[in-house]
Chains A and B, each alone.
Chain A
Amino acid sequence: MEREAFLDRLRARLAVPAPPNLAHPLPRITGVPRARFAVPSTDPVATFEKAAAAHGAKVRVIAPTSAALGGLCDEILAEQQPRARSAVVTDEPETAGAAALLEARGLTVVASGDPSAAASADLGITGALWGIAAIGAIAVHSRRAGGRTASLLPPVHVGIVRASRILATPADFWRDALPSEGPPPSQVVLISGPSRSADIESRLTIGVHGPRVVWFVVLDDRPRSP
């Protein structure tokens, strides 16, 4: 059907107002209230750590230095069996230096933007423009990350976010931060941990189609109190 014919059918039906429900009348409420969480976030980083860990993500808060990131690479590589041999790394501010650190540890590193390279990589490293503390999630933008598959296809995903970009609540992200960026790219995805399913007997299984292991690395760029 053509657009106007389709919409005209709707307009015709809406010309007659619907009868009110007298048994359960509509409440008088205006606007779109924000959620108030029972445990409000006083320290976004601590809240983020707790929420993400509850989803099965491994969270590390490190100084934004090459040495700290190198130490973390050692930890991540030690945990993965068999040891990772290749990684796909995006070109984002948060991932600066990561490729060199991994190459120094013997990995082959490819740039993001090629699905078959990502599919055969053992490890995917991306940045994140924002974090959301209350739900332990990071926001990954497709154009910025040079594509979509670095955080999706490898079995291990490392998402790096700056502490100063961790927002307290989802409302802070959807209503304030996201619209402030201008028109969104073709994909923005919130990631809150490793992939999961409870479709078999409601038994939670970690690692279905998306990554089985997820690390959230918080670069602590908050100013130090004197």
Chain B
Amino acid sequence: MTGIAPHGKLRERAAVAVADEALRRKLGDATDGLGRARTSAQAAVENYEELRDAARVRKGLIVARLPEILGELADKVERNGGTVHWAADAAEAQAAILAIARRRGARHVVKSKSMATEEIGLNDALERIGIEVTETDLGEWIIQLAGQAPSHIIAPAIHLDRRDVAEIFNQIAGGNLSDVPEELCAFAREQLRERFMAADIGISGCNFGVADTGSVVLVTNEGNGRMTTTLPPVHIAVMGMERVVQSLDELDLLLTLLPRAATGQDTTVYVNMLSGPRRDESEGPEEFHLVILDNGRSELLGSEFHEMLNCIRCGACLNVCPVYRQIGGHAYDSCYSGPMGAVLTPLLSRAEAAGELSDASTLCGACYDACPVKIPLQDLLLALRRERGEHVSATQRVAWSAWAKAWSSPSLYRLTTAAAARGAGFVPERLAPGSWTEGRTLPRPPAGGSFRARWRKGDI
């Protein structure tokens, strides 16, 4: 499990990914397909741009009233018979969930896909006290069996092809499976059905909490989300504290945007609205628990990064990002990758290596164009870089200052570039700021003279 604590250097992880031609082909195919599906689904909504603008504004209003809205959500969940746990950080979230597991004598847990539970390292915590955890989302189960981390927030196994999956499944199937996706899915259905029926606790994430009704809404395609929240006697939903709306009107708005942006669907197969444990019913969980998770999110409130709390985890930004499309999710070494991960991880993580992730960007703004709630991700990436820039060494500062000064004056600019064109080179490589030249090569002087010289001569 990755959590949000990158190790090592981004450049090295990216170099490994870029050298893997098969990975780049798989990523290109998958992200192209998702992107095309998204634009096609968006075209079916006439006022899509209006909805994006409205979503940006509404989410901002929700975040500005977060304490009141969370209070109402909690009141209604409790009125529906559920229990609310307030987790300031990952350790508190783990502790609350482990306490429920111990009280219930739980041995087997099934999970539907939840990035929040990846973030807090929940599976490891449960396994450490001897509980067997089974991921039931097909992509998550594949990577769980392979001992890997997810590489995309919507399609966790996007970096694997059918041969990879067959190899992984054959480790438990005894080598009899072909690599036909239908056969692999049938195997997963049969294996996981048993786990659902035997589980003591089902743990899910939460796409949207709804304060007005005290509900948790899950959008899924496979049916594992419904099984996880119906069959075991206990359901625990882990929710990032910002993933709420006040009203069903706002829920409707975001449900219009999310599936179209994520997979190009007009709706997911199932939209599951859960309002507490079962009441006078013979099916459904006896206990419902909502774990509301802070884990660094409150630091974004009132800051220039507050719009990052508007993210609805659709993954559209990953699919259009020229960097993500080349290096994939593992190079970010965080469960949140792509542009949203490059912003969110350094804001939530205490790992020193997290700060580098804002370099994983060309600042092209494709993410902002794709984002259904119009988060200005490129502005946030720039702001993160600016923050890091405040901590550079004196030598670097001097070098940057000198260069900026030289090129602010037309005559000095002409002098330095003319000198460079005559073979004097730009700045001797050894004097340039070390971390900036690492991974970059300085341009060689152009053959035939500088552009300006050739222009003056009429050569161009």
Q: Interface residues, chain A, CB within 8 Å of chain B? A: 1-3, 5-7, 9-11, 13-19, 21, 23-24, 26-27, 29, 31-39, 51, 55, 113-116, 119, 134-135, 137, 142-143, 146-149, 152, 170-171, 173-175, 178-179, 183-203, 205, 207-211
Contacts and interface: CB of A to CB of B under 8 A. Distances in A.
Contacts of A5: 86
B432 interface: no
B173 to A, nearest CB: 15
Contacts of A174: 248-249, 251-252, 255
Interface string B34-52: 1000000001111110110
A148 B283 contact: yes
B161 A201 contact: yes
B454 interface: no
Contacts of A134: 266
Contact of B222 (A3, A142, A210): A210
B74 interface: yes
Contacts of B368: 24
A33 B51 contact: yes
Contacts of B60: 26
Contacts of B268: 192
Nearest to B245: A32
A7 B67 contact: yes
Contact of A33 (B54, B156, B165): B54
Given A14-B66, A38-B43, A197-B222, A29 B54 contact: yes
Q: Which of A17, A19, A51, A148 has the most CB of B within 10 A?
A: A148
A14 B45 CA distance: 35
Interface of B: 26, 29-30, 33-34, 43-48, 50-51, 53-54, 56-58, 60, 64, 66-67, 70-71, 74, 80, 84, 86-88, 92, 136-139, 142, 155-158, 160-162, 165, 181-182, 184-186, 188-189, 192-193, 196-197, 213, 215, 221-224, 226-227, 229-231, 241, 247-253, 255-256, 263, 266-284, 292, 294, 298-299, 301-304, 306-307, 368, 374, 376, 379
Contact of B87 (A1, A189, A201): A1
Given A21-B307, A38-B44, A188-B273, A210 B281 contact: no
A135 B219 CA distance: 14
A147 B142 CA distance: 31
Contacts of A152: 223, 226-227, 230
A210 B53 CA distance: 35
A23 B376 contact: yes
B56 A26 contact: yes
A223 B184 CA distance: 48
A13 B302 contact: yes
Chain A interface mostly helix, strand, loop or mixed? loop
Contacts of B292: 6
16 contacts: A1-B87, A9-B88, A10-B70, A18-B301, A23-B379, A38-B43, A55-B269, A143-B281, A195-B221, A198-B155, A200-B181, A208-B138, A208-B224, A209-B223, A209-B227, A210-B227
B158 to A, nearest CB: 8
A175 B57 contact: no
B142 A199 contact: yes
B273 A200 contact: no
B300 to A, nearest CB: 8
Given A187-B284, A202-B34, A197 B249 contact: no
A183 B76 CA distance: 10
Contacts of A113: 281-283
Contacts of A19: 303-304
A202 B165 CA distance: 12
Contacts of A1: 86-88, 92
A119 B26 CA distance: 37
Contacts of A11: 67
Contacts of B279: 143, 185-186
A195 B192 CA distance: 14
B44 A147 contact: no
Contacts of A31: 54
Contact of A199 (B139, B229, B250): B139
Q: Which of A2, A26, A184 has the most CB of B within 10 A?
A: A184
A205 B138 CA distance: 11
Nearest to A151: B226
Given A185-B275, A187-B284, A195-B269, A209 B222 contact: yes
A121 to B, nearest CB: 14
Given A135-B266, A187-B272, A210-B269, 10 more contacts: A10-B301, A21-B376, A32-B249, A33-B50, A37-B46, A186-B80, A188-B275, A190-B267, A198-B155, A208-B221
A57 to B, nearest CB: 10
A173 to B, nearest CB: 8
A192 B268 CA distance: 7
Contacts of B45: 35-38
B155 A202 contact: yes
B269 A193 contact: yes
Nearest to B246: A32
Q: Which of A6, A15, A113, A134 has the most CB of B within 10 A?
A: A6
B401 to A, nearest CB: 25
B303 A18 contact: yes
Contacts of B165: 200
Q: Which of B54, B137, B268, B271 has the most CB of A within 10 A?
A: B271
Given A190-B271, A210-B270, A170 B142 contact: no
Contacts of B269: 55, 191-196, 210
B319 to A, nearest CB: 11
A115 B281 CA distance: 12
B230 A149 contact: yes
A26 B226 CA distance: 37
B284 A200 contact: no
B277 A186 contact: yes
A178 B248 contact: yes
